[in-house]
Amino acid sequence: MSTPPASSGILRGITRDTIIRFLADEHLTFHPNDFTREELFTADELFYTGTAARVMPIREVDGRPIGTGNYPVTMRLRLRYEAAIHGKAPEY
């Protein structure tokens, strides 16, 4: 898993930081780094985070579908986030 580093101009938000913590809690490898469009096109999953959007899969980039259309990691993170913000995950 990766996200652009804060030095690239990306907004460092609470939702983003929360998802990064979830990745650590699930023992998923995370690296802040820049990536190319080709890496986006060949990714198994892509998602974005935001206060209103929460955690949403990215289904396509420039008209090109991402992965197989299933987003198991994204959905798992989304469910964990929803549980946390609604007080259903006492560890958060």
Query: Tell me: the pLDDT tens digits for 36-56?
Result: 999 999 999 999 998 899 999
pLDDT of residue 92: 87
pLDDT at 7 over 90: no
Question: SS3 for 45?
Answer: coil
Predicted local distance difference test score (pLDDT) of residue 27: 94
Residue 6 in this model has a pLDDT that exceeds 90: no
Given a cut of 90, is residue 58 above it in pLDDT? yes
Structural fold of domain 2-85: D-amino Acid Aminotransferase; Chain A, domain 2 (3.20.10)
pLDDT exceeds 90 at position 9: no
Q: What is the pTM of this model?
A: 0.85
Q: Going along 6-73, which residue ranges are E strands?
A: 31-32, 47-50, 54-57, 60-61, 64-65
d(CA 88, CA 34): 34
